Structure formats: C-alpha cells, structure tokens
Structure 1
Amino acid sequence: MKRTIFKTFAATGAAALLLSGCSLLDRGSDSSGNANGEDGGSDNAVYNEMASWNACEVLGNLQPITDEMGIEGYGSSSAAGGEPTVSEIGNTLDPDSIGCNDLISISVPDEYASMMGGGEIKVKIVPAEDEEQATTAYEDRVAAAQSASAQGADAQSEEFGDPWDQGTLVSWIGSAESPNLEVIALDGQWVFHIQLNYGADFGLRNEGTPAYQFTSEELNQWFVNTYLPEVNTTVNDRIAEVQ
C-alpha cells in the first residue's frame, strides 16, 4: 500500500466553532423509507445490497474505534455501557447513508471526569447507484466538512489515497477547545464518512501528559492508516458477493 499523502491548510478564521444546541444525533428518528423513492427500489444490485445492511453489524459495532479511543459507553457523554445506534437509508439525519452513531463517553482519570470525556461519533456508509453519483457525494461531503472547519480554529485538510480512490481528513478545534474530525473516503460507487468530536484533553493542556489514551494527531493517523483500510476490505468483500 502506498504511503499516505498529506496536504494541509490553515484556516483563515480563528474563531471557535459554535456548537449547535441540537445534537449531531437524533436517536428518535433513525429509520425511515428509502431515499431513492417511495417504493425503496433500485435497478442496481450493489446499491440494493448495501442499502439493506445494518451498519453497526458491518462495522463490528465500532469495536476497533471503541478500543482505540477507550470509549466506555454509548448513548451518553458521561456513563458507561450501551451500544451505538443504527441508522437506515432514509433516516432524517442523513437519508443517503446507513450509519452507526451515538453519544460517547471516553475513559479518563478520575481527576478529569468532571471536565472531559464526552463526545459524539457518527460512522456512515453511503452507497450510490454508480461511480459518478458516489464522486458527487464525496465532493459534497468534503466541501461541507471544510466549510464547517473554517468556522473553528487550527483547521487542517489532509488528502490520502490507497486503497481509496480519494480520501480527505478534515480536523479543527471547536468551542471549549473540543477537537472535531471528519474523514471522507471514496471507493467506486460508495463513500465512507466519519464525523467525530470529543472534549479537550485537559491533562495534555495542564500537565503535558495526555488524559486520553491517545492524542488527536495519533487518532487521526490511526483512522487513515489503520481503520479505514480495514473498513475498505470489509465492505468490498461484502460487495463482491453480489457482483
């Protein structure tokens, strides 16, 4: 696999990103009809297969991310236990995708428990009817992520390739020094999209020692170099079964 190629830009705006009063996740409206039409039909066998998947099942209930980040709970930013929530094609949050999402609680030492450790994650597979539609979806999602990052501080955009046709990681610092991350990758007629934010690491800021089991830079590179290639293989192996 060729090494990752990075291109980085600094955001022109340094104002902190104002978080919306609404959660990234709408747990009460995850499922609905097929976004391609009321009858839920498509002439494309690959699209139909992908649209029928349970994203949490395909993605191993996000266990690799759970292990890497030290996530101790889903469904709450401060409690242990629970599992991520499934989103189906046609959901009101992102109707073109299937997803595995939720609030997250990240393990931290007791002295930081009241200040940090919460966040949200949304992991989405976006099937398309053909490669042209997938490319459009990829470009639209990258543009939206970069627009969001420009409202924060320290915005960076990094491009990567193999095994993907195209890939972009966008990161920035939002309000209360909260790291934000979006990873968007394109392969053939599908797109993979991660949205993540979590509390600032006050251990790193105050004492120079991370309170999380990762730094933001380490986590970003793990997504690109380790997690995304694994997802690419998993999804393409499933697609091959219907081609």
Structure 2
Amino acid sequence: MKRDQYEELLEPLEHELVAMARWAKAHGERICVLFEGRDTAGKGGTIKAISERINPRQLRVVALPKPSEMERTQWYFQRYVPHLPAAGEIVLFDRSWYNRAGVEKVMGFATDEQVEKFLHEVPTFEKLLVDDGIRLFKYWLSASQEAQEERFAERLEDPLKRWKLSPIDVASRTKYAEYSAAREAMFKATHTAHAPWTVVDYNDQKLGRLTLIRDLLDRLPDTQVADEPLDWPQLGHPPLTEEFDHIKPIPSFPVED
C-alpha cells in the first residue's frame, strides 16, 4: 500500500481512536490490548499509529525488558499486573505475558514445565481480568518468513533501525518453524470465549495496521461522547512576544532559502 493512500485511510480512524479515548475516560472503561507476533511483524508501528493522537496521560505503552533476578522468583504474572489499566486508561502491551509461550519456550529461557504451567494458568488469569471489567484484546500479527527476512535486511542496512536488531533476532532466524509450533500450541490452550485471539495479516504492514485498528474499534460499543464545552475567552490585549533578560535562545537550525 502506498503511503499517501495509507495516510488518507488512517485519518478517519484516528478521529475514531480519539473518540474511543474520550469515551473510555467518560465511562471509566479499562482497555488492554496485547500485540504479539514474530520479530519485525509490525507491533511497534501499529502501537505508534494507535497512540499518536491520544493523550499520553491516558494511554500507556508497556514494553517490559527481560525479568530481573528477583522477578524470576515471583509468580509469573506478577510483573505484568501493576501495568494493567485503571479506570479511563488504555494500555498497549508491546509483547506481554505470552513471552513465556513464545520466545521463552523456543529459545530455552523457560522449562517445559514452566511453559505447561503457564498455558494452564493463563485462561484463568485472563478470565479474572475480563470478569473484573477489563476489555482485553489479543492480536497476533502474522508475517511470512520471506517478509521477515526482508525487514531484517532493511534494519541491517538502515543505521536508524539497526538498534532494533538483537542477538535474539539473530538466533531466532533459523527457528521459524519452531515459533510456528509454539504459536499453535499457545492458540490451542489460550483461544477462549472470554479472551479470544485475533490474527491479522501483516505481510503488508500498512494494510495490517488499518485492519487491526478497524477491528479494535468495531469491537467496542458506541464510543460517541460529546466534547465538553470549553469557554475560551479573548486575550483582551495584543499577543505578547516572549523576551529573555538573562539567557538567550540558541541560534535557529540553519535552513537554506
């Protein structure tokens, strides 16, 4: 999809996302969205597209680092619970507790017993969240190995994207089939009526973003809430220019005419 077409189609969705945030605040809704998928699938770009127009005081993005030594001794879900949304909040998880069923399983960071225990417990954990009123959405961003390799190559060549590559990315490139098997086992155990998975084709990332955002908005009730009236008085004097007595602003960035 061309960028011009993508931006044209995204703009009305952005208005709906802002309306969704206003509705969540007005009604005390708690919205939690999990983004899962292979490396390079497009999680970061989608999260940016959703969050860009929403007040950052209301929307939080959670991307946890690897657990500390102390966190490894805790109940597995414990490190995620403090990041769940409060009333009026929207929380987007850039990877979530499903790390245990994916990268931790495939890369050997969790034992078979730990993975089995997680798959047994997570439907109950999510049932508690949903029963308490949290609106939980779980998205899997699907991309082929060919698309993944193209994106890895782009990151390798672009110094502004090189930071996205990690030793885990290098090690996981040869484990595409293993990740597929882990994903299917995860779906089988955790695709429930109260917290179903939604798979979105992300071989075209722009189209994938539009598809996911449209689906998310469609699964919420009517989010139309009127803007609160805002009394905007006149200044009563000509606009003033900011002046400094002690510290001068630095020179402006050089721009050629």
Using structure 2 for the length normalisation, give the TM-score.
Answer: 0.23
Q: Larger Cα Rg: Structure 1 or Structure 2?
A: 2
Larger RCO, structures 1/2 (Cα 8 Å, 6+ apart) = 2
Which one has the bigger strand percentage? 1
